[in-house]
Amino acid sequence: MLRFIRHKIRNKKWLNMCLLIGTLLTAAVFSCMQCFKAGSLDRMIYTAFQAAGEESGVFPAILSREGTVALDTEESVGSVNSEIDAYENKWLEYLEPEKLLSQRILHVTGCAVSTSLGAKNKYLDIGMIPDLEDHIDIVKGTSLSEADCPENVVPCYIDERLYDRYGLVTGEILSFNYCLNDKGEPLEAQVAGIIRAKDEPDNFWHVTLSEIDTTIYLGESDFDHVINHYSFEKVFYEDYMLLDYTGITGKNAEDTMYYLEEFQKNDKSFSCNFMNILQEFRQNKKSVITILLVLLLPVLVLLLLFIYMVSGQILTMEQGEIAMLKSRGVNRKQVIKTYLIQSLILSAFGVLLGLPVGYFLCKLAASTDAFFVFAYKDVGIYRFTWEMIPFAVLAGLISVLFMTIPVFKMSKLSIVEQKQALVYKREKVFWEKYFLDIILLILSLYLLYNYNNQKEAMALAFIEGKSFDPLVFLDASLFTLTLGLFFLRLSGYLVRLIFRLGKKRWKPAMYASFLQIQRTAKKQGFISVFLVMTIAMGIFYSNLASTINQNHEERITYNVGADVRMMQDWNLSVYRPAQEVWTWAYKEPDVEKLNMALSDEVCSMTKVIEDRETTVKVRGKKIENCYLMGINTKEFGETAYLKDGLNDSHWYNALNSISQTKNGVIISRNMAEEFEIEIGDQISFSRYNPIPGFDDEEIANVIGKVSAIVDAFPGYERYSYVYNEDGEMTEQENYLVVANYTTLVDTFGMTPYSIWMRLKDGVSAEEVYDRLDQNGIGYSEFDSISGSIEEMKNSSIIQITNGMLTVSFLISILVCTVGFLIYWILSIRQRELLFGIYRAMGMSMGEVNRMLVNEHIYSSFLALLSGAVTGVLTTVLFGKLLALVYLPQKHNVPLTVFVDKKDVLVLFGIILAVFLFCLMILRKLIASLKIAQALKMGED
Amino acid sequence: MEYMIRTKDIIKSFPMGNGETFYALKGLNVDIPKGKLSVLKGRSGSGKTTLLNVLSGLDEATKGTVWFDGQDISEFGNKELERMRRYEIGFVFQSVALIPIMSAYENVDFSLRLSDYPENRDSRIREVLQYVGMTERMNHMVHQMSGGEQQRVAIARAVAHKPKVIFADEPTGALDTSAGISVMKLFRTLVEREHTTIVMTTHDTGLMGLADYVFELEDGEIIGTKRNERTESF
């Protein structure tokens, strides 16, 4: 049997090659999905840890425990360490990531201290930090081991801040008057060295020396001696274990979370600082997997249809063989078995080859920057995983099923029925016959209508991090498919109409080709559906990707407002002149230095005061936490960006209006509506004391005259989202007041401002960043449009979307090309006799070509056009809804659907090239046709 | 006697896989009389279909000359051959004679369109279909007709545009005896009424009596010519 199957495969090697390609791509998509999912989740969790670290300035994966050890028996640092080690080992036993290091702080409660230099009542605790000396610099004095101390006096370190605060000096002896030994003598420690943490990035300092505050640090043996011989009841310890968070992956995140919850439940002293990261990951994971599935589903359907189509084609051609086998006594089961084995062999090869192709597709998808835009990226996190294998095998088995479905149908037919199946019949395709296209199209539109009605609730759910309803995406696919089919129905009617209109006048080529199109619509229907789906999906995907990407970019540009926006380090000095109230002053950073340092990179720069805690009052009504901006209008106009069309008039008009009035203000539309004020009305706004604890005291207020009302302004986000008292996510309005910079400084004094910059052409934010570092210019905040856009593009969900849309399109183009070529080559081969008859009857080669071109125009080209219109309509109707999944927040820059004409043209170009290529091959095939031979073949 | 087609020393050869040459026609000379039904008779492989193809311009002779209505078609280019096949010739093929995507009516219509038939096409289609007895089934598709019916439509199609010559390659090959005789009778009527020249191949000796001339072929050569004296008409 195997020899027979081998012969069968060889006999139809091109068609079987197509089946292999279909199976291979299905296995590739399945395994790519798995690889991409694993990589994306790993990457998502890794970037979440990194972002958390950067945002908080604290190492993002720390397990910690606080505890005490009673000193009723003899204890030592060693025994306390053993207890902590036991806890740490237990954690590590369950968790996969490895330990990087631990910071442990041991201390006993001290008391008020008097010193040998006469200081009194300085409260100090006595502490010990294992491995302290590896992580500190001694600013003054000596190390503990080198200290020269009197008898019964232990050497100690103190932190330089404590040294400043308490005015202690090296060599000074500290007497702990209430910490006595057996003889009633107080504990005495001599300051051997003043220390500070080493000036280098060091994760050891999770808790910094300044945070520990009033503590002296002893060496291990002295601490042992002290805790055992003085009147202390217990040792307090804090343990901070830093985990290598690169070991927390998409795969083990769930387990990690489970164990951490268990630790927390069973040990009240245990805590960890990354539960929220894991919880957020758990929520996002659902969205990631759903997006991945819904984006790949249409292409999978396309692939399986392709396999079904090719398999059906092979069977049609082998009907004779099946009939022959059956006439020789082979039963139906044996026929099915033969095809089943053939499918299994092809699938086995498909799976084997599909795995590396899937891996390659995954890497390709990971390196996309936008739809069909590839960039050089580190894609090392997307690794080959063993889970890819069962998925590829599953794909293989599904392919086998789709390959053998037609066999079940075909093997039932008798020889006579098979013969009849071969002839041309005026039959409608099942979807056309039962109006499935129209019914399902209406269903998809109804679903769309429903989703559009629930848009706001859906957006809030997305913002809360709830996973979205995958039906939204599937509805778009259903709409694409059914509208495509509907257009095919219409193009069928159109062909009939055109044919009828010119029926009496059609030249023979047109006459024959129109009849060909109408009478073989069922056969062509399949490839037409392919064409429609591919082009519609391509256009929709490209538009969806650019809608998502461009809206993101526009919103980022709006939010950041300028190429670079940074805040230098500002120092707040607080002082209290004798008997007077506390007062304060900000020390302005050296802006000149900044100007000089960036003279080559920046073309304009401006100071912007930003205060989000301003209170605005109008006629007794007030709004708190308004966003106040103080700007130099000309510079600001030259530096900031604002998209046209967001305001009624150009935003420069608003800038001009306040530049002419010292106390002129621009306010946001929502503020104007809230206070029911118009241009020319007055508002009062006030700012508050920056001293912690005094921040409810008003410093001063300004009476501003409303000069302009705007909907949008660079950096001003009208909406934000917060949880209300019931724990529900709600939308919150933000209000804006823009005043002249000088007015604010005159009224409120020197106020911290951020620097907004517009960069020269070709200069990147990265260069500015480097230049600041080179010049030692510190900053507390640094934000750039390009940096934020890059961050957005690297976010898992955007990466998945761009990657999967690209891969889907690539596969659908490939399948469509192969499908199109195969269909037409076979169609020509099957029609060789027909062409022979045409040529014998005197049709010229030119007429045959015209006939083919006409067939292509009215079948393939109409399908392409239908696909294009379908793609654009899907974008227009579903673009906003689907983009909502990615950008659920309401924003000053409303969601806009982008129909990228260039992309559509490029797409059309690609398809047209494929189309022409196919046509060339077909033309060649027909030109090589020998009439007499063709007729002879017909006879045979 | 007036001849529609004449040939001189026609050779048709094909290269074979082993490097040798196979001669299908070996310097053959035949003259086909105008307005008569001529039959090329011979066993399978005798070269009758090859000869028919060469005479009708479907295939080119390797050597030799073919005159079609006085014109040397060996000198014709593709366009002239196409023109000749389109306007001056009608074909009836053995088994799959009709265009399967068209109905009986459309098949005939297609042929008329090809030859730019100057008069009313519809009445001519109905006329020829009536002539072959297929009026009632003119809207039937090919697969809805029997072999004999298909061949009748093929004949209607071949004669519709009033060609000078009808070539028929084994037109009765796939038919039973009575259907075969019925086709032959149709041919005879055409010859009698419209003075069409018909050249057909067959190996059915039972049908020879209905021909005016019978040319017997063997191994690519004419080995005998027979003229039937006919008095009856159909």
Which residues touch B111 (CB under 8 Å, ≥6 apart)? A841, B90, B157, B158, B160, B161
Record: contact B111-A843, CB cut-off 8 A = no
Report the chain A residue with the minimal C-alpha distance to residue B161.
Answer: A841
Closest Cβ opposite residue A840 in set B58, B106, B110:
B58
Q: Residue A307 in contact with residue A19, Cβ under 8 Å?
A: yes
Evaluate whether A448 touches A478 at the Cβ level (below 8 Å).
Answer: no
Evaluate whether ipTM surpasses 0.85. yes
Q: What is the pLDDT of residues B38-49, one digit of tens each?
A: 999 888 888 888
Task: At A268, give phi and psi (nearest 5°).
Answer: -65, -20
- Please list every residue in chain A whose beta carbon sits closer than 8 Å to the beta carbon of residue B83: 842
| Residues forming beta bridges with residue A108, ordered by sequence position | A126
* 3-state SS class at B19: coil
- Whether A508 has its CB under 8 Å from any CB of chain B: the answer is yes
Q: Where are the domains of chain A?
A: 1-59+296-423, 61-273, 427-559+788-940, 570-777
CB A627 within 8 A of CB A698: no
Which mean pLDDT values do the consecutive 10-residue runs of chain B (234 residues) have? 89 84 89 92 87 88 91 88 90 76 93 89 91 88 85 88 90 77 84 88 81 90 83 46
**Long-range CB contacts (< 8 A, 24+ apart) of A372-377?**
A372/A542, A372/A806, A372/A809, A372/A903, A373/A802, A377/A794
pLDDT tens profile A773-805: 898 888 888 999 999 998 888 888 888 888 998
- Low-confidence stretches of chain A (pLDDT beneath 70): 413-427, 578-579, 929-940
CA A372 to mean position of chain CA atoms: 17
Residue ranges and CATH numbers for the domains of chain B are: 35-57+78-227 (3.40.50.300)
Residue closest to B94 by CA, chosen among B215, B209, B200: B200
Residues in chain A with CB shorter than 8 Å from the CB of B169 are 935
Long-range contacts of A67-72 (CB under 8 A, 24+ apart): A67/A236, A67/A237, A67/A239, A67/A269, A68/A234, A68/A235, A68/A236, A68/A237, A69/A234, A69/A235, A69/A237, A70/A233, A70/A234, A71/A227, A71/A228, A71/A232, A71/A233, A71/A234, A71/A235
A844 touches chain B (CB under 8 A): yes
| Three-class secondary structure assignment of A32-68 | HHHHHHHHHHHHHHHHHHHHHHHHHCCCCCEEEEEEE
Contact with chain A for residue B49, Cβ under 8 A: yes
Q: Does B89 touch chain A (CB under 8 A)?
A: yes
Spatial CA neighbour of A808 closest among A477, A427, A400, A453: A477
What backbone phi and psi angles, to 5 degrees, belong to B202?
-165, 160
Smallest CA–CA distance, residue B93 to chain A, in Å, is 8
Distance from CA of B232 to the nearest CA of A (A): 32
User: In terms of Cα–Cα distance, which of A664, A676, A665 is closest to A620?
Assistant: A676
Structure tokens at A486: 């509907």
Task: Give the three-class secondary structure for A368.
Answer: strand
Query: Considering just the CA atoms, what is the radius of gyration of chain A in Å?
Result: 38
Please check whether residue A559 is in contact with residue A892, taking contact to mean a CB–CB distance below 8 angstroms: no
The structure tokens listed for A878 are: 């579903």
Query: Which of A910, A884, A36, A290 is CA-nearest to residue A539?
Result: A910
Check residue A930 and give its pLDDT.
66
Select from A507, A516, A837 the residue whose CB has the most chain B CBs within 10 Å, as the one to mutate to test that interface: A837
**β A779-784/A753-759 pair status:** unpaired
Alpha-carbon distance of A375 to A368, in angstroms, equals: 6
Tell me whether residues B110 and A520 touch, CB distance under 8 A. no
Q: Flag whether residue B96 sits within 8 Å of chain A, measured between CB atoms.
A: yes
* B107 φψ region: left (φ > 0), alpha (ψ -120 to 50), beta (else): alpha
First to last CA, chain A: 28
Q: What are residue A174's DSSP bridge partners?
A: A115, A189
- Does B102 sit within 8 Å of A939, measured CB to CB? no
Least CB–CB distance from A842: residue in B86, B96, B142: B86
Nearest to B91 among A425, A519, A840 (CB): A840
Token representation of residue A910: 């690609």
Is the Cβ–Cβ distance between B64 and B11 less than 8 Å? yes
Do A932 and B85 make contact, defined as CB atoms within 8 angstroms? no
Q: Which residues of A679-691 are buried (b: 16+ CB within 10 A; e: fewer)?
A: eeeebebbbbbbe
Structure tokens at A668: 């946001």
Please tell me which residue of chain A has the smallest CA distance to B109: A508
> Which of B79, B94, B102 shows the shortest C-beta gap to A515?
B102
- Closest CA relative to residue A808, chosen from A458, A604, A540: A540
Structure tokens at A396: 């293989």
**Chain B residue nearest residue A513, CA to CA:** B101
Instruction: Give which of A660, A635, A627, A622 is closest to A743, Cα–Cα.
Output: A660
Residues B150, B100: Cα–Cα separation, whole Å: 10
Amino acid at A872: V
User: What's the pLDDT score for residue B234?
Assistant: 41
Report the Cα A513 to chain-centroid distance in Å: 50
Q: Which residues of B touch A843 (CB under 8 A)?
A: 82, 86, 114
| Closest Cα in chain A, distance from residue B228 (Å) | 30
Residue of chain B minimizing CA distance to A830: B100
Phi, psi of A402 (to 5 degrees): -70, -25
Query: Which of chain B's residues have a Cβ under 8 Å away from the Cβ of A939?
Result: 93-96
Distance CA A872, CA A870 (A): 6
Question: Is A837 within 8 Å of B84 when comparing Cβ atoms?
Answer: no
Chain A contact for B172, CB < 8 A? no
pLDDT of residue B95: 60
Which of A510, A841, A851, A935 should be substituted to probe chain B, the one whose Cβ sees the most B Cβ atoms within 10 Å? A841
Of A507, A508, A935, the CB nearest to B93: A935
> Of B85, B100, B143, which is closest to A842 when you measure between CB atoms?
B85
Query: Distance between CA B78 and CA B90 in Å, rounded?
Result: 18
- For residues A45-59, one letter each, b for 16 or more C-beta atoms within 10 angstroms of the residue's C-beta and e for the rest, the string is bbebbeebbeeeeeb
- What is the Cα–Cα distance from A784 to A557, expressed in whole angstroms? 9
Count of positions (residues) in chain A:
940
Per-residue pLDDT at A478: 92
B93 contact A CB<8A: yes
Residues 6+ apart with CB under 8 A from B130: none
Instruction: Kindly state whether A927 is in contact with chain B, defined as any CB-CB distance less than 8 angstroms.
Output: no
